[in-house]
Chains A and B, each alone.
Chain A
Amino acid sequence: MYEFTEFFAMGMAFLGAGIAVLTGIGPGIGQGYAAGKAVEAIGRQPEAAGTIRTTMIIGQALAETTGLYGLLVAIFLIFVNGL
């Protein structure tokens, strides 16, 4: 039915890259949740705003890692396998 060709493999690599960047959903939810909680905390305790903001940014930068792994997989699929 379908023949396995170079072209087919390249297209599949691009599709895989598209699926891999869907990992961005996870960090998006996590970072939004962290930001919401930080806003709540600042509303409750405005004098601690500086500390809360620093902690929030560090936590969000850590949560970003899983999304970046998806991005790395996508980059490798496109540039190593696809093109």
Chain B
Amino acid sequence: MFSFWTELSSGLRASVLITTALAIVFVIVGARVSKLKTSDAPGGITLIFVMIVEFINENQREYFSKYWRVFTPLLFTIFIYLAFANTAALWGLSAPLSNLNVALSFSLFAFGTIQISALIIKKPWGRMKDLMDPNPAFLPLNVIGEISTPFAMGLRLFGNLVSGSIIAVLVYAVLGWLGVFIGPALHAVFDIFFGVVQAYVYYMLLTIFLSMAVEE
């Protein structure tokens, strides 16, 4: 019965756990926010979430002049998932992004999001004109650029997470039980700081490329 679960690799299991936990939390907080009246002042955890959403909205309005309402929920979801997935080592899970499958599916996701929304918003002919930007001879170069940037975004996440875990393994192998003393600093840098910075970088890059593809 549990063979499906135990046969998954550790990164994928962590990914499923994080997604489930986030879904539960967001449903609860969403119910509490939707019950708020406009005259009420939110408090506690609701206030924190309202402030985060407000901050992300402000951030998105700098990049999207017209379509920020369409893309902000998507980008915010990705940012939250990545921020928790990259710090998963703090809860004893292995980071999902240190699995090459998860990392490459993130580049596939970025590629699909950019291409499909550009096709829907600009219509195929407008998109084609964008790809042949200075003149039609640049078409192959632009197509390669469209493919390689999402690929690099996924590989960047993978490389960062894997290098962090490899360095942690090496340091623990060399130091043995002395690793207890240096461990906290190591995890603070490689799990919390680099993980959150990489989540922010992925979010920022997806925002910038989406706005370049979608806006005039």
A61-B163 in contact (CB<8A): no
Residues on B with beta carbons closer than 8 Å to the beta carbon of A72: 155, 158-159, 162
Indicate if B68 sits at the interface (CB-CB under 8 A). Answer: no
Q: How many pairs of residues, A versus B, come closer than 8 Å at their CB atoms?
A: 32
Instruction: Given A68-B155, A69-B155, A72-B155, answer yes or no on A62-B160 (Cβ-Cβ < 8 Å).
Output: no
CA distance A57 to B158 in the complex (A): 18
| Interface status of A20 (Cβ within 8 A of chain B) | no
Nearest A residue (CB) for B205: A62
How many residues from A make CB contacts under 8 Å with B? Answer: 11
With an 8 A cutoff between CB atoms, is A71 at the interface? Answer: yes
B94 sits at the interface (CB 8 A): no
C-alpha spacing A61/B197, complex, angstroms: 8
Q: Specify which of B163, B198, B200, B201 is in contact with A71 (CB 8 Å cutoff).
A: B163
Q: State the A residues within 8 Å of B (CB).
A: 57-58, 61-62, 64-65, 68-69, 71-72, 75
List 13 additional A-B contacts (Cβ < 8 Å) besides A68-B163, A72-B162, A75-B166.
A57-B197, A58-B200, A58-B201, A58-B204, A61-B156, A62-B201, A64-B160, A68-B156, A69-B159, A71-B159, A71-B162, A71-B163, A75-B162
